[in-house]
Amino acid sequence: MKNSISVILLLCFFSLLQAQNKTNNEYNLLIGTYTASATSDGIYCYSFNTETGNVTLKAALSGVENPSYLAVSRDGNHVYAVNEGRTGSVNSFLFDKATGVLSFQNKVSTGGSGPCYVSVDDKNKFVFAGNYNSGNLVAVSLKEDGSFGAEPQFIKHEGSSIDKGRQAGPHVHCTVLSPDNKYLLTSDLGTDKINIYNIDQANLTQPLSPASQEFVSVKPGSGPRHITFHTDSKTAYVIQEMGSMITVFDYKNGTLTEKQTITMLAPDFKGRVGAADIHVSDDGKFLYASNRGEANEIVIYSIGKKGMLTYAGRASTLGKAPRNFVIDPSGKFLLVANQDTNEIIFFKRDPKTGLITPTGNKIQVSKPVCLKFVSQ
């Protein structure tokens, strides 16, 4: 009798262990897309296995116009998606991590056109979004249920830069929170500036005000696009879309001090460029950046002392227009959304060298733009 009970308990233990391992290896992969002039439903949710790199479709949300860029709350229970169009807005969704189903709550105007970026603070108190076409940004408070609350705050950028074709006016391209969530950094491709704002958590209707360092300028005509921070929170990296280069800044208490600019281009490259996305690996050892145009590649840098970059390698994205990419939570895989060839290509990542190689796996989806991992 005792032996039978021991065997049963042992079997239960191993079953529980297997279930736990499965849970730890499985993550939700959210995909934001363009729906206008495309065959996309809108937002897709796949289950992604960090051991095998295999995916399974869980759910798809239709009826939302151009949910191109997504933000996920820290607890993973809320998703915010822009409607990238002439009349911009941001949608709030409840997210069922078990089923992958998104449930619409409400939406708010971004006060402009072409919203291309959205972010949410760690305490789920505010959402911030930037309008590329109209060159302004919005801040809106959140209720306890994650839906939008008080009236939004709208801020309009002013100015231009040297490229009269693309920089005749402001073009806000990202709204990135500082690691301590006390500041908001916004890159403006049209003015070649990184604007910096204080965030007053107690002010629900006017949370943003200019920081003591209101902005920093980058090389004229370079077109700053996305911003990311090193894991040590002391270094910020800005990718320049038009110049296809990365600028490295020391960061402290809402101030930026430039210390390095490094090209993304191969020495013999002569074609069109369009640098897009940028991410640091969770181990803090490598930085990755995507380049569109005729390059269509991921460029890899090793990160040295004080966050300085050294070129490590490059890899074709095996498609066109790598608008966005993401490193999976295990650090073993890197997924690239090739917008113009309608597929997401999977790469295996070497944690020692930082280099990536294609796995042969991919997801075919129309006009993929944004990739986000969420726990299950």
With bands split at pLDDT 50, 70 and 90, how would you rate the model's confidence at 10?
very low
Mean pLDDT score across all residues of the chain: 94
| Overall average pLDDT of the 41-52 stretch | 97
Taking only the tens place, the pLDDT of each residue in 149-175 is 989 999 999 999 999 999 999 999 999
Task: Give pLDDT, residue 184.
Answer: 98
Per cent of the chain over pLDDT 90 is 91
With bands split at pLDDT 50, 70 and 90, how would you rate the model's confidence at 36?
confident
Taking only the tens place, the pLDDT of each residue in 301-313 is 999 999 999 999 9
Strand 26-33 relative to strand 356-364, pairing: unpaired
Asked if residues 86 and 113 have their Cβ atoms less than 8 Å apart, the reply is yes
User: pTM of this prediction?
Assistant: 0.93
Write out the two tokens for 273. Answer: 């460029």
With bands split at pLDDT 50, 70 and 90, how would you rate the model's confidence at 94?
very high
- What is the per-residue DSSP string for 146-164? SSB-SPPEEEE-----S-T
Which residues have a Cβ under 8 Å from the Cβ of 248 and sit 6 or more positions away?
Answer: 235, 236, 237, 258, 259, 260, 261, 262, 307, 308, 309
- What is the per-residue DSSP string for 191-229? TTEEEEEEE-TT-SS--EEEEEEEEEE-STT--EEEEEE
Write out the two tokens for 248. Answer: 């490295």
Task: Give pLDDT, residue 329.
Answer: 97
The per-type count for the chain, helices as H runs and strands as E runs, is 1, 28
**Which of 246, 336, 230 has the alpha carbon at shortest distance from 285?**
230
Task: Give pLDDT, residue 24.
Answer: 81
Taking only the tens place, the pLDDT of each residue in 66-88 is 999 999 999 999 999 999 989 99
Which residues have a Cβ under 8 Å from the Cβ of 236 and sit 6 or more positions away?
Answer: 185, 227, 228, 229, 230, 248, 249, 251, 256
Q: What is the rounded CA–CA span in Å between residue 355 and residue 24? A: 25
Q: What is the rounded CA–CA span in Å between residue 320 and residue 156? A: 33
